[in-house]
Amino acid sequence: MDKNYFESLDKCSRCGGCQAHCPIFYETGKEPFVARGKIELLENLRSGKINWNDKLADIFSMCLLCGACTENCPNGVQGDKLVMMARNELVADGRLHIIKKNVFQHLLRYNGRLNAFGKCLYLYQKTGMQKIVRASRLLNLMPMDLAKIETLLPPFADGPFRKKVPFINRVEKPRLKVAYFTGCVTNLINHQVGYSILKIMKANGVEAIIPEQFCCGVPAFASGDFATGKILGMRNIKEFTQEDVDYIIFDCASCLSTWLDYPELLESEEAGKLAEKLMDVNRFLVEVLDVKLTPREMGVKVTYHDPCHLKRTKNGRTAPRELLRRLSPAYEYVEMGLADRCCGSAGSFNISHYRLSQQVASRKVKSILESGADVVASACPSCMMQLSHALKNEGSNVAVKHLVELAAESMK
Ligand code: SF4
Ligand code: SF4
């Protein structure tokens, strides 16, 4: 364990305050799953009373990395970071799950393979194969709730977004130049988000370039595979330092948060130099462009879900809400009760712990339905997939959209 890791453990006074904020503790009521319980286990590991084992691997997999414990800890203990460090130690102990190992080391690292994977899923869905598989109920015979997990699949696009749009999206006399980090979900699944951003940039005189890029690494870092995360991060830094831009914009809260952590995770000075250019697209629209939207009258009620990774960044709670206010009267913004509670997606948590993840999501769905909204907006493609799935499971027809989709739709 490294030195900072030790220091963080020593800060915990065992007050138990984190229990009130942890979604996993809320659902399970089990002490080992909350930050305090994990810290106790880490203390025992530090003193050599216990060693890493399968049971501990299970316990440390039970965390959404939502950061609610960190945000509310009176002593500044970073519970989510401790879990990530612990997972890194588990990987060093040879305990990275074989499926994750293959996905991170043989898929995520290679854009060509990732694109081919996306194409296969597109064909699986478009050729009727998906319908056959579902009708056959074959997946019901498989372990790990595979039949249910399969229904998490969103509709894949017929190819990568980045191959459909030019490298430079030129405008006459640009007022600013940005580089757009599309993230994997916009690239392979929800192209509409990417097109919306390019449309808004063009309308506001911003030249957007879309450099060659790789997964930000968040799935690997979150699972403790720091080696893969670092490879991906360093490749991204290399690509995004080729051209001078005013800002690097993100439509995905998790990608942004990972990039903000790059200087520490990659121990890279180059990454540190880019840090002040990184910006969530909603904040960019509100604070930098100060967009004046002229929405058409549509009168749709919309509520907003705070992605965990966005709300802790600078103005990560206020900028998206300000953008929504500027969409009035096309969209009437209503705050939901549990706006900033984690949706339970947490990268691959909704696959590895499907049932618990849906349990967490059902609280959010209840809150969305109570708000009476027709649309739930967010700023993280991963949250959006989780919310769509959970709402569908409840038989709800509330639409899930990215904020930039609403902004682009409401522009004349
Ligand atoms: S992690 Fe923070 S909130 Fe939780 S028990 Fe320790 S000091 Fe208290
Ligand atoms: S990061 Fe979230 S899920 Fe994990 S221990 Fe903290 S509050 Fe609980």
* Closest ligand 2 atom number to CA of residue 33: 5
Question: Pseudo-torsion of CA 198, 321, 264, 36, nearest 10°?
Answer: -140
Cβ–Cβ under 8 Å, residues 398 and 368: yes
Does position 3 have pLDDT exceeding 80, yes or no? no
Q: What is the pLDDT of residue 6?
A: 66
Q: Does ligand 2 lie within 6 Å of residue 27's CB atom?
A: no
Domain boundary among 52, 67, 92: 92
Q: Residue 29: left if φ>0, alpha if ψ -120 to 50, beta else—which one? A: left
In angstroms, the CA 5 to CA 82 distance is 7
Mutation to probe ligand 2, out of 69, 306, 312 (largest number of atoms < 8 A from CB): 69
The residue segments making up the domain with residue 139 are 98-150
131 and 212 in a common domain: no
Q: Does ligand 1 lie within 6 Å of residue 75's CB atom?
A: yes
The Å distance, Cα 270 to ligand 2 centre, comes to 31
Q: Does ligand 2 lie within 6 Å of residue 62's CB atom?
A: no
Domain boundary among 243, 258, 288: 288
For residue 295, being part of any structural domain is answered with: no
Q: Does ligand 2 lie within 6 Å of residue 59's CB atom?
A: no
Q: How confident is the model at residue 298 (pLDDT cuts 50, 70, 90)?
A: confident
For residue 155, being part of any structural domain is answered with: no
| Residue bearing the bigger pLDDT, 151 or 412 | 151
195 and 274 in a common domain: yes
107 and 7 in a common domain: no
* Closest ligand 2 atom number to CA of residue 79: 6
330 and 269 in a common domain: no
User: What strands, in cross-sheet order, belong to the sheet with 176-181?
Assistant: 168-169, 206-209, 176-181, 247-250, 278-280
Cβ–Cβ under 8 Å, residues 218 and 255: yes
* Closest ligand 2 atom number to CA of residue 34: 5
The Å distance, Cα 80 to ligand 1 centre, comes to 12
The Å distance, Cα 36 to ligand 2 centre, comes to 10
State what percent of residues in the chain have pLDDT above 70.
Answer: 98
88 and 184 in a common domain: no
CATH code for position 392 = 3.40.50
Q: What is the pLDDT of residue 248?
A: 98
Q: Does ligand 1 lie within 6 Å of residue 18's CB atom?
A: yes
For residue 156, being part of any structural domain is answered with: no
Helices (H) and strands (E) in the chain, counts: 23, 9
318 and 202 in a common domain: no
Q: What is the mean pLDDT of residues 288-295?
A: 86
Q: What is the mean pLDDT of residues 63-70?
A: 96
279 and 185 in a common domain: yes
398 and 346 in a common domain: yes
383 and 345 in a common domain: yes
Q: What is the pLDDT of residue 32?
A: 96
Ligand with minimal distance to 312 CA: 2
Over the chain, what is the mean pLDDT?
A: 94
Q: What is the mean pLDDT of residues 287-293?
A: 91
Q: What is the pLDDT of residue 5?
A: 66
How many domains are there within the chain?
Answer: 4
In this predicted model, what pLDDT tens digit does every residue of 99-157 receive, in sequence order?
999 999 999 999 999 999 999 999 999 999 999 999 888 888 887 788 888 999 999 99
What's this model's pTM, rounded to 2 decimal places?
Answer: 0.94
236 and 124 in a common domain: no
CATH code for position 249 = 3.40.50.1860
For residue 67, being part of any structural domain is answered with: yes
Q: Does ligand 2 lie within 6 Å of residue 263's CB atom?
A: no
Does position 297 have pLDDT exceeding 90, yes or no? no
In this predicted model, what pLDDT tens digit does every residue of 337-394 receive, in sequence order?
999 999 999 888 999 999 999 999 999 999 999 999 999 999 999 999 999 999 999 9
For residue 404, being part of any structural domain is answered with: yes
Does position 1 have pLDDT exceeding 90, yes or no? no
